[in-house]
Homo-oligomer: A and B are copies of this chain.
Amino acid sequence: MPTQFDPPSGTRDFLAAEFEKREWAFGVLRTVFASYGFEPLQTPAFERIDVLLGKYGDEADKLVFKILRRGEHEASGEADLALRYDLTVPLARVAAAYSSKLPMPYKRYAIGSVWRADRPGRGRYREFTQCDLDTLGTRSPLADAEVLCAHHDAVSGLGISDFSILLNSRLVLSGLLEVFAVPADLGPGVLTSLDKLDKLRPEEVIAELAERGLAAESAGELVATITAADAQDRIRTALKRSETGTAGLDEVDELLALVSAQVPAGRIAFTPRMVRGLSYYTGPIWELVAAGGVGSVGGGGRYDRLIAHLGGPDVPATGSSLGVERILMMVGEDDAAARRGRLDVAVPVLADDLAARSFTLAGAARAAGLRASVYLGSSGKLGKQLRWAADQGARWCLIYGPAERDAGMVTVRDLDSAEQESVPADAIAEFLAARAGACDA
């Protein structure tokens, strides 16, 4: 039951633990992408509305969050800006705006929020993070191999190993349509139906193909070929009858050879029935599929005409997008991330006139590289303050009460062992520096 204090429908508040986990994951991704020579790019949350609308069709346009004009124009009810729907339209605009400043080919990564007014559901949000890798300005298959391997390494880097990569090519699909004599106007619909072969039974897909107007014989033969035990061999043989199909097979085999040294054997496979819904792909396409029913966690391909279609320059391009939200659900609690959110040193405050001294002790701990805080509550009791220290996950308490003041000492309590030792007040910085070193190791 949502309350007035919940975040808006489909959005989330990230408190400390979740935030740290996400930051850790994004850090891993950035490191992997930089290791391939991809540059970061960050664009504004909103774009002018004409930049955004009309690029992905009416259905997508309906999901765009539009921003009202301001001031005297607000009453018009018109929108002049809109929250970005993906990271590709802004990339096309940037490619047009800074063409002379950007290296060509331009290899960029972007990790950022996008907004879609979709119906929220499990793992589906209205504000979510996208993670895109794209290379603009080259037809080299090496560029396809780079984005594919970089996303592979990114998922691996997050500790996920139980996933596979389905590889295909739009040219293979075109070749299949040609060989099985699918009329051109039925092509897109036929591919959409074939894409369902991982969910529907073959007879159901054949029925759907017939409904779309495909001759019963073609439909049956097509599905039989794709679902056969020796589908790969049969499709490879069939495609030899088509020039486009042959080119597609070459493309797939070349990419398989390029990535073979970096993607473990068996993790990537030519998958002729894999279609990827989006019609803008022009060459190789791939999908990252996680085991355990999670399904697709990313994918991409070559899209040589999209950047121009989106209003950018007419450059060939290839790219891959990771479903970060799904992937994050697969990443376990990270110990290091959890630890980052905890204190090393807690400093009780045992009397008002000792508060300044406690504050200085916390400062000395920070100067030694430790995370430290004084007690800010209202209890003057040590027992209660020690419980606070334990709640904060602190390793040590620095106790400075009237007895310590009189003796010129600080009591250092190890909260794991409950052992205490007295350290001369003027030697505490040195003592903490030694502890900080041990803490790093």
Contacts and interface: CB of A to CB of B under 8 A. Distances in A.
A417 interface: no
Contacts of A98: 13, 15
A372 B44 CA distance: 29
Given A5-B96, A40-B16, A363-B149, A66 B68 contact: yes
13 contacts: A13-B90, A13-B97, A36-B373, A45-B113, A45-B115, A45-B127, A63-B70, A66-B70, A66-B74, A105-B377, A142-B376, A146-B376, A261-B363
Contacts of A262: 360, 363
Interface string A317-344: 0000000000000000000000011010
Q: What is the copy number of this chain in the assembly?
A: 2
A138 B373 CA distance: 14
A11 interface: yes
Main secondary structure of the interface of A (DSSP, over half): mixed
A348 B135 CA distance: 17
Nearest to A75: B77
Contacts of A142: 349, 355, 358-359, 374, 376
Most buried by B among A3, A13, A74: A13
Question: 3 closest pairs, A vs B, by CB?
Answer: A77-B77, A37-B373, A11-B44
A375 B145 CA distance: 12
A74 B67 CA distance: 11
Nearest to A138: B376
A257 B101 CA distance: 52
Contacts of A374: 142, 146
B44 A8 contact: yes
B7 A39 contact: no
Interface in A85-114: 90, 93-94, 96-98, 101-105, 107-108, 113
Contacts of A3: 97
Interface of A: 3-8, 11-16, 19-20, 23, 30, 34-37, 39-48, 51, 62-63, 65-68, 70-71, 74-79, 81, 83, 90, 93-94, 96-98, 101-105, 107-108, 113, 115, 117, 127, 135, 138, 140-143, 145-146, 149, 153, 257-258, 261-262, 311, 340-341, 343, 349, 355-356, 358-360, 363, 366, 370-374, 376-378, 391-392
A97 B153 CA distance: 38
A68 B67 contact: yes
A391 B67 contact: no
Contact of A366 (B7, B36, B44): B36
A48 B341 contact: no
Given A34-B340, A76-B77, 20 more contacts: A5-B311, A7-B44, A7-B93, A8-B44, A11-B46, A13-B97, A23-B30, A34-B341, A45-B127, A62-B71, A66-B67, A66-B74, A68-B79, A105-B377, A141-B355, A142-B376, A146-B376, A153-B366, A258-B356, A261-B360
Nearest to A374: B142
A344 to B, nearest CB: 9
A143 B376 contact: yes
Contacts of A62: 70-71
Contact of A41 (B15, B358, B371): B15
